[in-house]
Structure 1
Amino acid sequence: MVGTASFVKSLGNSVKKVSESKSSSWWYNHHMRAASRAISERIPLVDLVVEVRDARIPISSEYRQLINFPSSSRNIIVLNKMDLASRSKTKEWMAYFKELNYTTFAVNSHNKDSIKEFLNFLQGKIRELKRSTHSSNNIHTTTTVMVVGIPNVGKSAFSNSLHQIGRITAAEKGKLKHATVTPHPGETKNITSFKIASNPNIYILDTPGILPPEILDDELCSKLALTGAIADSLIDQSDLANYFLSILNSSDEYTKWEKFSTMEDDHGGSIMNDHTQDCVVQAVRGALFQELAAFKGNLEDEKDMVQLIEAQCTTLRTVFNVSSDSFGDDNGIFSAKLVNLYRTGRLGHYTLDCLPTTCGS
């Protein structure tokens, strides 16, 4: 799934300028460089490597540093944020990775049952690994699992959830050590150890998110920016909003929102200012349905798509109760609200990467 070419190019140029100029203190700073070296040194020493990817971008969120460590039975790909991706597409991606002999598991780090299922799977994988390496006599030895990935794929939330579910005794509850979890990429600065199981002991190493020093592909830049892998401070939020709308308009998600298009707006402005309120989200869905249902142009035509998005933005500013002010920041406020609703799954579930067998078809 790709967005309108002009928006992809605009986002791509913004990201590439930052990465190429090295002007940002966030982009591949000394923390990322040091962490990158530390991770490379430790990967050969751990028992398993869990690569966390974003289920919305299963290929685009690949951790490039693992290219230096060929895939093997000791590597597991975890497609996190499965609750934000298309369920059918996630199943297709799982089947695709299975054909390539990758060990893959889809999770929602904020769902206890999902994490319990993965922990059971991980323990089985470790037992299998010990049998295959003739380590049955050392079944009680400690196993280390390194969790790696690019920024903001949910590594720390994943590690914390495993730690919470894997607690063995009540005495451990008062001694929990948490990874830093925020919606902002690049918050984890050091490699941190968490115990997730006993008999045998299993420790996971939560690592900082690492991006390559440069990203040259416009589409890849756009997907990483929209899903939050790149700091929002480096990106024009209106470009992100336009890119998301081009993706929404090319999907059939809006067809589910017809019932919201006839709802009357009986809410005050103070409520409408809070874009996370259900009534606001429903109003946004209804407005988008009306704009798309009334659209008579050709979505395959770049100019028609741009005109539709301009009309949608005008309507949504009213829904969000955002109007031009003396500072002229209405675009930034409106765009940030819209992007937030996308990232939290309130405006549908999208898988942005298409399978190699279907790309271009």
Structure 2
Amino acid sequence: MGGLRRIMKKGLGDMGFNKGGGIINWFPGHMAAATRAIRDRLKLADLVIEVRDSRIPLSSANEDLQSLLTGKRRVIALNKKDLANPNIMHKWVNYFESCNHDCVSINAHSKSSVMKLLELAELKLKEKIIREPTLLVMVVGVPNVGKSALINSIHQIALSRFPVQEKTKRATVGPLPGVTQDISGYKIAHQPSIYVLDTPGVLIPRIPDIETGLKLALAGCVKDSVVGEERIAQYLLAVLNSRSTPLHWKHLNTRMIERSKDELEEKHKFSLKDLLPKKKKPPNTSDVRYIEDIVMEVQCALHVTLSEFDGDLEDENNLESLIELQFEALQKALRIPHKASEARTMVSKKFLTLFRTGKLGPFILDDVPETQHITP
């Protein structure tokens, strides 16, 4: 992994992840105001659900809030588990539990998954439910970890379980960080009355290191325009190469050959009937397979470039050269015209979309700490 760290410093440069300083100012003014509001309301919360991205369980923590959460009832919800490597996910849950933190991996869009979280939250509030008529649950987390999606799922479950009299509101959900920019309260239960506060995602005024910042950017917690799509794509390629991930995609070459044969057999001969107007165009197998084909071509392109590479991945110059070759291979695989302006940006955007939607497979970017201690 030495080559990966060196290329981040050499190829990506000092990105200046600090408020108002360095090359990148990624801490907007509204985050400072939101942070103050969250701190004030945390004092009133009976339970805090801290939502993190399962792909970056440590990097997606807001370290500035950790000291305030120490004395609170808290559940760490590792969201987007469908995008995380299931072979490692249980190790993270065990790690947090060994640090005396209740933790559960969830998919905010899955009712059964959210139910599991609610059951744990209810267990944590069991003593308070007996004594208090009104309870407050606060949902916190960095941008774009799925807080609003979680609250909307909780609403749907609550509506089926409790007679809610007033019209309920839905949290605004979006694919970009910074959608929720105010603190809103939502009543989810009666007897006792339980309210959930959805909060805007806030980062810390300073990210500790370049790699943490790039992980946040890769997961979509920082807007692409702040860091730059090409920088983020370079980092993703460096991570995949350092882990030898494309070498595990060797079988895809055979699958692509078989797919090509199948498509040739499915092609029908031209007929005059093809000229007749159709009320509804029948589904085209090639259209259905388009995305899958693109993913397969991308994976094959990365497999070929890495398997044929005879340099040292620990050498940042060699790693840079490999990444350059892979950008060219990705441009062909993603079918972006060779002379298209801003071709590298288009390649980066499409490549990042494939990763973020799980098309390239499940990943966890953080490493499980060896020591049984979590940063406070």
Q: How does the TM-score come out when normalised to structure 2?
A: 0.82
Q: 3-state DSSP class of the match of 2:297?
A: helix
The equivalent of 2:76 in structure 1 is 77
Cα distance in 1 for partners of 2:67, 2:289 equals 44
Cα distance in 1 for partners of 2:333, 2:164 equals 48
Cα distance in 2 for partners of 1:12, 1:274 equals 41
Matching of residues 154-173 of structure 1 within 5 Å: 154-168=146-160
The equivalent of 2:118 in structure 1 is 119
Cα distance in 1 for partners of 2:55, 2:182 equals 26
Q: Is the 8 A contact 2:15 2:22 kept in 1?
A: no
Cα distance in 2 for partners of 1:70, 1:230 equals 23
The equivalent of 1:345 in structure 2 is 358
The equivalent of 2:237 in structure 1 is 245
Q: 3-state DSSP class of the match of 1:215?
A: coil
Q: Is the 8 A contact 1:193 1:203 kept in 2?
A: yes
Cα distance in 2 for partners of 1:240, 1:273 equals 30
Q: Is the 8 A contact 1:275 1:337 kept in 2?
A: no
The equivalent of 2:17 in structure 1 is 16
Q: Is the 8 A contact 1:258 1:289 kept in 2?
A: yes
The equivalent of 1:179 in structure 2 is 171
Change (3 A) 1:136 1:18: closer
Q: 3-state DSSP class of the match of 2:159?
A: coil
Change (3 A) 1:23 1:56: closer
Identity of aligned residues (%): 39
Q: Does 1:293 align with 2:307?
A: yes
Shift of 1:209: 0.7
The equivalent of 2:5 in structure 1 is 5
Shift of 1:325: 3.6
1:3-29 CA-to-partner distances (Å, cap 9, x unmatched) read 7235423546335377416985xx433
Shift of 1:308: 2.0
Q: Is the 8 A contact 2:16 2:24 kept in 1?
A: no
- Please report the RMSD computed on the Cα atoms of aligned residues, expressed in angstroms: 3.0
1:64-112 CA-to-partner distances (Å, cap 9, x unmatched) read 2323415245122111111112222221111111111111111111222
How many aligned positions are there?
345
Q: 3-state DSSP class of the match of 1:20?
A: coil
The equivalent of 1:215 in structure 2 is 207
Q: Does 1:318 align with 2:332?
A: yes
Q: 3-state DSSP class of the match of 2:124?
A: helix
Instruction: Give the gaps of 5 or more residues in structure 2.
Output: 264-284, 372-376
Please list every run of at least 4 consecutive aligned residues from structure 1 whose deviation after the TM superposition is greater than 6 angstroms: 271-276
Shift of 1:253: 3.8
Instruction: Give the gaps of 5 or more residues in structure 1.
Output: none
Cα distance in 1 for partners of 2:166, 2:246 equals 46
Change (3 A) 1:103 1:12: farther
1:327-352 CA-to-partner distances (Å, cap 9, x unmatched) read x3000000010011111111122211
Cα distance in 1 for partners of 2:223, 2:323 equals 24
Q: How does the TM-score come out when normalised to structure 1?
A: 0.85
Q: 3-state DSSP class of the match of 1:77?
A: strand
Cα distance in 1 for partners of 2:147, 2:85 equals 20
Cα distance in 2 for partners of 1:3, 1:343 equals 24
Q: Is the 8 A contact 1:164 1:196 kept in 2?
A: no
Cα distance in 2 for partners of 1:322, 1:259 equals 25
Matching of residues 224-263 of structure 1 within 5 Å: 224-262=216-254, 263=256
1:186-218 CA-to-partner distances (Å, cap 9, x unmatched) read 111111112333343322100001112222411
The equivalent of 2:130 in structure 1 is 136
Q: Does 1:336 align with 2:349?
A: yes
Give the aligned residue type for 1:233. Answer: S
Cα distance in 2 for partners of 1:344, 1:89 equals 19
Cα distance in 2 for partners of 1:18, 1:30 equals 9
Change (3 A) 1:169 1:276: farther
Q: Does 1:302 align with 2:301?
A: no
The equivalent of 2:370 in structure 1 is 357
The equivalent of 1:30 in structure 2 is 29
1:138-176 CA-to-partner distances (Å, cap 9, x unmatched) read 4xx221111111111111111111112221369859944
Q: Which moved more, 1:71-80 or 1:45-54?
A: 71-80
Flag the structure with larger Rg. 2
Q: 3-state DSSP class of the match of 2:14?
A: helix
Give the aligned residue type for 1:20. Answer: G
Q: 3-state DSSP class of the match of 1:42?
A: helix
The equivalent of 2:276 in structure 1 is none
Q: 3-state DSSP class of the match of 2:185?
A: strand
Shift of 1:182: 1.0
Give the aligned residue type for 1:55. Answer: S
The equivalent of 1:63 in structure 2 is 62
Q: Is the 8 A contact 1:51 1:75 kept in 2?
A: yes
Change (3 A) 1:272 1:64: farther
The equivalent of 1:51 in structure 2 is 50
Task: Pick from 140, 150, 165 the counterpart of residue 142 of structure 2.
Answer: 150
Q: Is the 8 A contact 1:242 1:309 kept in 2?
A: yes
Q: Is the 8 A contact 1:56 1:351 kept in 2?
A: yes
Q: 3-state DSSP class of the match of 1:53?
A: strand
Q: Is the 8 A contact 1:105 1:118 kept in 2?
A: yes
Q: Is the 8 A contact 1:261 1:285 kept in 2?
A: no
